[in-house]
């Protein structure tokens, strides 16, 4: 538990809440690899009882560790092959909210964060081509409260979004090893 914040209580209750088990991690990894697997098949692969898998899944869902089960859609497969990160400067008087709300109305805006540093908002957008990106950026600039934007285009994505390494890392640091009952 070397990377747990020092403020953390480190009681069993806390570990229960904030970390996952070796078995949890293996379950997530398994579902990640073969997502349409049923509970029964999972239990076979993991070598535990079906009820255990069911309970673990329920708990992971209840705790919000697993928030859902896709489907994961690839914008690129829909023709949106250009990804860009656009940072926005906004007129602070109005506040972030109306701006985010306006951005949310643009389908090509996939994600919006408020950020520290020189700019106010960072968003991830996709477009069909570079020319199409211009159209999207124009829409962003048109959002009321946006003062100026600055974009960088993602040329390549050597590491696509992933959580698995994190998941597999947690049990080693904060969690317990799962030991099968006799």
Partner DNA sequence: TGAATCAATGGACAATCTGCCCAGTGCCTG
Partner DNA sequence: CAGGCACTGGGCAGATTGTCCATTGATTCA
- Footprint (CB under 7 A) of DNA, residues 4-33: 12, 21, 23
Residues 52-111 that bind DNA (CB under 7 A): 52, 54-56
**What is the distance between the alpha carbons of residues 121 and 147, in angstroms, rounded to a whole number?**
11
Q: From the CB of 34, what's the least distance to DNA, in Å?
A: 12
Cβ neighbours, 10 Å, residue 170: 20
Interacting residues of 94 by C-beta distance below 8 A, sequence separation 6+:
144, 145
**What DSSP string runs through 11-53?**
-HHHHHHH---HHHHHHHHHHHHSTT--HHHHHHHHTS-HHHH
Residue 72 near which of a second copy, DNA, none (CB within 5-8 Å, type-dependent)? a second copy
Instruction: Return d(Cα 109, Cα 86) in angstroms, integer.
Output: 10
The 73-112 contact track toward a second copy, x by CB under 8 A, reads xxxxxxxx--x-x----------xx--xx-xx-xxxxxxx
Q: Which does 56 bind (CB under 5 to 8 A by kind): a second copy, DNA, none?
A: DNA
Least distance in angstroms from the C-beta of 14 to DNA: 12
Residue closer to a second copy (CB basis): 50 or 96: 96
Cβ proximity to DNA: between 20 and 99 the closer is: 20
Grouping H, G, I as helix, E, B as strand and the rest as coil, residue 69 is: coil
Cα–Cα distance, 140 to 131 (Å, whole number): 15
Binders of a second copy among residues 146 to 165 (CB under 8 A) are: 152-163, 165
Binding site residues, DNA, CB under 7 A: 12, 21, 23, 36, 38-41, 47-52, 54-56, 178, 180-182
């Amino acid at each position: 538990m070397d990377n747990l914040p020092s403020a953390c209580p480190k009681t069993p209750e806390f570990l229960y809440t904030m970390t996952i088990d070796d078995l949890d991690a293996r379950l997530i990894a398994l579902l990640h690899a073969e997502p349409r697997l049923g509970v029964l098949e999972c239990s076979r692969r993991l070598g535990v009882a079906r009820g255990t898998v069911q309970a673990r899944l329920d708990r992971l869902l209840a705790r919000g560790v697993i928030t859902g089960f896709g489907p994961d859609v690839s914008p690129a497969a829909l023709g949106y092959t250009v990804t860009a990160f656009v940072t926005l400067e906004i007129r602070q008087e109005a506040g972030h909210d109306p701006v985010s709300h306006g951005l949310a109305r643009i389908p090509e805006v996939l994600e919006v964060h408020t950020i520290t540093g020189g700019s106010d908002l960072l968003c991830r957008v996709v477009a069909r081509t570079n020319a199409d990106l211009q159209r999207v950026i124009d829409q962003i600039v048109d959002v009321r409260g946006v003062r100026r934007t600055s974009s960088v285009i993602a040329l390549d994505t050597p590491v696509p979004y992933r959580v698995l390494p994190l998941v597999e890392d947690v049990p080693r640091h904060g969690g317990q090893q799962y030991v099968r009952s006799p």
